[in-house]
Structure 1
């Protein structure tokens, strides 16, 4: 990937971070809390995928490497959910 590609991904990440800040600073009422939470969570997932695909070069790796990374993410999420469940 060339510098133009890295710059485009950087600008995308900057725009998504700005959108997250706008959602956070917009303020929300009780009923809109979950809408704002969902929007911020969705933007975070898009940013994480962009970073993994371009800056960690998973887009150009064999699919088996991408599946290995997805397995690690699934394991981390499972451990996080188990830890959250044990606290309650």
Structure 2
């Protein structure tokens, strides 16, 4: 029963953050401000999904660090690709 409450709470948090992302997009904010807010919310949502739905929270720390290194590699390649397009 505890897991059901936990997963329900996580679902509500993900639903609310997705709703906030849509509201931020339609609020007419400056592009960089809206992008920053949406990126932060997306990162939080991805961390929650990876931590709880993919069970990284209960895995050994070495596996979590391995996933973190992969995430950093993806971010580094994405940033590098934005500067290489001319």
TM-score, normalised to structure 1's length?
A: 0.88
User: CA-to-partner distance for each residue in 1:30-53, whole Å, 9 max, x for gaps?
Assistant: xx3221111111111110110011
1:72 to 70, 73, 83: 70
Per the alignment, residue 4 of structure 1 pairs with 5
Which sections of structure 2, spanning at least 5 residues, go unmatched?
Answer: none
Determine whether 1:56 maps to 2:54.
yes
Would you say how many aligned residue pairs link Structure 1 and Structure 2? Answer: 85
Could you say what secondary structure the match of 1:27 adopts?
A: coil
CA shift for structure 1 position 17: 0.1
Give the aligned partner of residue 47 of structure 1: 45
Runs of 4+ deviating beyond 6 Å: none
Match of 1:16 in 2: 17
Structure 1, unaligned runs of 5 or more: none
